[in-house]
Amino acid sequence: MELIRENQISSSQVADLLKLAQNSPIKRARACLHGSDSELLHVMLIVALKESDIPIHRHGNRDEYYVVLDGKLELSLYDEVLSVKEEKSLNPYGSPGVFTNFVRTNEWHQIKILSEFAVFLEITQGPFRREATDFPT
């Protein structure tokens, strides 16, 4: 995934992230507002296209909090046998409906982009450890 490290983000940088996402094989790009993977708070602005495939996964070491700024997401939560237990539509701030959601540690979840693209914040605890993310086998 394309990555930019910044401590603040402007509208023009979001447009740049959209271009990066359009040219990325995984159709996503992110700007990290935290300084390094070792920091205790991670704030990421993510731009994802509708065709971006974000698989079902869970994190063994952290909660996640999503805030939708533009576009529309579907957040699916799964039980331990990976049956859907809840689906939530997340709409952008300022429109009707919910624009934030909290996902607990070890909760299976998946995000689908319902609009052409979506811009959202993902806020979570650090430090980042790739091996703490599980995918179904």
Q: In order along the chain (137 residues), what is the average pLDDT of each group of 10 residues?
A: 66 94 96 88 95 94 94 96 96 93 96 98 87 87
* Residue 68 in tokens: 């939708």
How confident is the model at residue 3, as a pLDDT? 54
Q: Is residue 136 part of a domain?
A: no
Terminal alpha carbon distance of the chain: 23
Task: Say what the pLDDT of residue 1 is.
Answer: 46
> Which residue do the tokens 């799964």 mark?
78
Q: In CATH, what number is assigned to the domain containing residue 76?
A: 2.60.120.10
Residue with tokens 């495939």: 53
- The answer to the question of residue 71 being in a domain is yes
On whether residue 132 sits in a domain, the answer given is: no
Q: Please indicate, yes or no, if residue 135 is contained in any of the structural domains.
A: no
- Residues 65/124, Cβ–Cβ less than 8 Å: yes
Res 128: pLDDT: 79
Residue 5: per-residue pLDDT: 60
Domain count, the chain: 1
Strands (E), 6-99: 28-32, 41-49, 58-59, 64-70, 73-78, 84-90
Quote the domain boundaries for residue 49: 2-127
Radius of gyration (C-alpha) of the chain in whole angstroms: 14
